[in-house]
A = this chain, B = another copy of it.
Amino acid sequence: MKDIPEKVEKLIDDAKVSFIASVDENGFPNMKAMLVPRKRRDGLKTFWFSTNTSSMRAQQYRKNPKASIYFYEKGRFNYQGVMLIGKMEVMTDAKSKEMIWEVGDRLYYKKGVTDPDYCVLKFTAESGRYYSNFKTESFKIE
A contact face: mostly helix, strand, loop, or mixed: strand
Count of this chain's copies in the oligomeric assembly: 2
Q: Does A32 contact B (CB under 8 A)?
A: yes
Q: Which of B16, B31, B74, B129 contacts A29 (CB 8 A)?
A: B31
Over the window 84-99 of chain A, the binary record of Cβ atoms lying under 8 Å from chain B Cβ atoms (1 yes, 0 no) is 0100000000000000
Set of chain B residues within 8 Å of A74, measured between Cβ atoms:
16-17, 33
A22 CA / B23 CA spacing, docked (Å): 9
Q: Does A66 contact B (CB under 8 A)?
A: yes
A81 touches B29 (CB 8 A): no
Set of chain B residues within 8 Å of A22, measured between Cβ atoms:
29
Q: Does A21 contact B (CB under 8 A)?
A: yes
Set of chain B residues within 8 Å of A21, measured between Cβ atoms:
21, 29-31
Q: Does A12 contact B (CB under 8 A)?
A: no
Q: Which of B19, B26, B56, B131 contacts A19 (CB 8 A)?
A: B19
